[in-house]
Structure 1
Amino acid sequence: MMNPQVTIVVSPRERFSYTRESLESLYAHTNIPFKLVYVDGNSPPDVQQYLAAQAQEKHFQLIRTDYYLCPNRARNLGLAAVDTKYVVFVDNDVIFSPNWLDALINCAEETEATVVGPLVCQEQPVHEIIHFAGGECHIVLDAKGRRRLREKMYRQGQMVAEVRHKLQRTLTELSEFHCVLVRTAIFHKIGGFNESMFNTKEHLDFCMDVVKAGGTVYFEADSIVTYVAPPPLKWTDLHFYMLRWSDAWELASLKHLREKWGLAEDGYFQHKYKILGWRRVHAIYLPLIRKLTLGVENQWLENALIYGLAPIEKLFNRYLTSQYAKHHLKPQSPSPTHPTSVTFMPGS
């Protein structure tokens, strides 16, 4: 691995229990030289020990904090260790396919793209159902002169086998942080990742910053990855998951996005406010309710239980975020403090 031109930065998305599967897939399907920086935001002891052993064995750089990290904070910690032409940001729940990285770099080299995103799939079996195949992300003016956000993800939910022949490399406006290659030089123009974007739509904010700075975003169909979302979650994932998808973090992110880009508080934002907490319901509370009902799915009963639990759950979620803010956010600032514990393993 002499003189690699790319650094892969892995950071926590929303859980830790898929760490091993993702890291093993990364090494199994990446056949060109790369540096690896792994950001571990307070994983449980078994994952912490696994990562420390892997860093020692495979000679990658491991950065650990003893508190949970919002995604852009984790990416900034990893970015600070990058000294290569390209950096690829990936979440810790991604499964890769052969030659995924080669295709991303080839696209960047041949098009001079600033950002390149792969074909992102979802669920298991992997690489079968499309999550994202490029998209739109820009601001339009409505008839009243209000600035409104246009966001669209292409081909979500379609089967790869049915549309694979139609997919090709193309200039686009949007890429997601499940996996994205970035030309490192762009950060000299736009700075690091916006840590006021705690947990949602940070990819929109980043891509619009890149385009505003004169960069380009490409979709590369020959690179395929899959993100494997919960459920299930392990008990050791729950605290992080509830914080990661907390109402407070989502509201703060949406507010910052709206104010930064001068967007009207229209139906787009009103819908986001209405469905706050849907991920927690889907990944935590529905599986728990179905265990209590012995796997019997009764929508009326599920809705009744969720409705009854909602006020208590909202209070508990508010408590988690207030405690985090008290201990890990700077006064008068939405950005987390510096890591209290950092371990560096020498790169190869």
Structure 2
Amino acid sequence: MTAVTTIIITPRDRYSGLDECVDSVYRHTPQPFQLWIMDLDYPASVIDPVRKQLAGRAEVRFFELGLRTPMDALREAQPLVDTATVVLLDNDSRVTAGWLQPLLDAHADGHAVVTPLILEREGVDRGAPLRNHLYTGELRVVDVGETPYLIEHKHFRRTEVPDIPDERSLTGTFELHCVLFDGDAFRRIELPSMVIREHLDISLQLAAMGKTMVVEPKSVIHFDNLGTRMVLSDMRFFFYRWGPKLTGPSSRLFERRWGYNFYSEQSMYNWVVRRKAFLVSRWLGAPIGIANRATQLAKKLFCRDWDPLPDPDGASRPLLTDGVPRQLSHDLR
């Protein structure tokens, strides 16, 4: 049977969990598919059991690419995609029953990008065991003095499941936890070497192409919000991906390409510091409550704040009201 999509699994923040991700795909996907696994220097303890499990399956392909960022890995696979659609799936996300067909139906209705409802499991902070991580989102712009900054605004952020809308809706942004692309659109987009805001760069590219993006909540994905303890190899990848040698240049690359800084740039760097403190604490055996207190201590000691506006969201306006910003550069690095 002809594959209806190519599912590409990349590490997001960690290596562990790949087996569960693959298991969920095979358990909940009756449609024929290709499965491509980006091996970004997985430890043998993680990748070997998966290779053994999938040995002999014609639909499976492993890409041995060494330690590199997910975007750089996807750029290797991009020109090889030959299916009508492609699904990007992070290895810390789990698909659920009936997840693919609603995405395919929305694509058949003419939408170039379809994101499922992404629910996050309780992790780095307390709250509902399962709540909204991403329904719809938009890019907004706020002025600090005479300088405009971008804001990524997420609607229904951390809303509990019964209160999340259940209808398909247009969205201005998506995230890479799980997203379905039209195959032609995926092959046309640029995949810049970014580890932060890369999904927003792609969102702007698609808007400039006149493509529509929707969220389809009939499809549900569960995302592990760093609640599961990492092993040492996981932290190696996290510290690499979220290290200052990659995060700072990512911001500058976005600025070169679109002419904007993000209002939350310093907050993102602070997030990285807090998450590293959280993960090390959890690795040492601390329960989530104590790990959260360690993050607050790290924030006081190592983080500086930049938040000059009392209500930046309230002072912001939609970015695309006057059209898509002109792309200033096509640099990928």
Same fold (TM over 0.5): yes
**Contact 2:36–2:61 (Cα < 8 Å) also in 1:** yes
**2:250 matches 1:253:** yes
Q: Is the 8 A contact 1:178 1:227 kept in 2?
A: yes
1:103 correspondence with 2:99: no
Partner of 1:58, secondary structure, is coil
Partner of 2:115: 117
Measured against aligned partners, the alpha-carbon deviations of 1:87-131 in whole angstroms (never above 9, x if no partner) come to 010001111111111010101112x01111000011159993111
**What's the offset of the Cα at 1:84?**
0.6
Structure 1 unmatched runs, 5+: 312-332, 336-348
Q: Hey, what does 1:136 align to over in structure 2?
A: 138
Measure the CA separation in 1 of the matches of 2:147 and 2:295: 40
- Residues 272 and 27 (structure 1 numbering): CA distance in 2 closer, same or farther, change over 3 Å? same
SS in 1 for 2:87: strand
What are the Cα deviations for residues 264-309 of structure 1, in whole angstroms up to 9, with x where unaligned?
x46433433444423212222x325664xx998398777557877x
* Ranges in structure 2 where 5+ consecutive residues have no aligned partner: 304-330
Structure 1 range deviating more: 117-126 or 23-32: 117-126
1:221 corresponds to 2:217: yes
**Preserved contact between residue 78 and residue 186 of structure 2 (Cα < 8 Å):** no
Q: Sort the Cα spacing of 1:81 and 1:124 in 2 relative to 1 into closer, same or farther, 3 A.
A: farther
Q: Provide the residue aligned with 1:207 in structure 2.
A: 203
Determine if the alignment matches structure 1 residue 163 to structure 2 residue 163. yes
Secondary structure (helix, strand or coil) at the match of 1:155 reads coil
- Tell me the distance in 1 between the aligned counterparts of 2:120 and 2:274: 18
Number of residues paired by the alignment?
301
Letter in 2 for 1:132: L
Distance 1:86 1:307, change over 3 A: same
Moved more, 20-29 or 227-236: 227-236
Structure 1 equivalent of residue 236 of structure 2: 239
Change (3 A) 1:168 1:334: closer
Residue 77 of structure 2 aligns with which residue? Answer: 78
Q: TM-score, normalized by length of structure 1? A: 0.77
| Residue-by-residue CA offset, 1:196-245 (whole Å, 9 max, x unaligned) | x1x11111111111111111111111010011132410122121111011
- For residues 93 and 293 of structure 2, the distance between their equivalents in structure 1, rounded to whole angstroms, comes to 34
Check the 8 A contact 1:107/1:113 in 2, yes or no. yes
Q: Is contact 1:39–1:77 with CA below 8 Å preserved after alignment?
A: no
**TM-score, normalised to structure 2's length?**
0.80
**Counterpart in the other structure of 1:269:** 265
Counterpart position of 1:282? 278
Cα distance in 1 between the residues matched to 2:234 and 2:52: 21
Change (3 A) 1:271 1:55: same
CA-CA distance at 1:68 after TM superposition: 1.5
**Inter-CA distance 151–74: structure 2 relative to 1 (3 Å threshold):** same
**Aligned twin of 2:320:** none
Alignment of 1:1-348 (within 5 A): 2-65=1-64, 67-110=66-109, 112-123=110-121, 128-138=130-140, 140=141, 142=143, 146-160=147-161, 162-164=162-164, 166-190=165-189, 192-195=190-193, 197=194, 199-230=195-226, 231-263=228-260, 265=261, 267-284=263-280, 286-288=281-283, 291=286, 297=290
The two structures, once aligned, show a CA RMSD in angstroms of 3.0
8 Å Cα contact 1:9-1:79 kept in structure 2: no
Partner SS for 1:148:
strand
TM superposition shift of 1:38? 1.2
Cα distance change on mapping 1:108 and 1:301 into 2, 3 Å: closer
Shift in CA distance, 60/69, structure 1 to aligned 2, threshold 3 Å: farther
What fraction of aligned residue pairs are identical, expressed as a percent?
24
CA distance in 1, matches of 2:265, 2:295: 27
Cα distance in 1 for residues equivalent to 2:121 and 2:288: 20
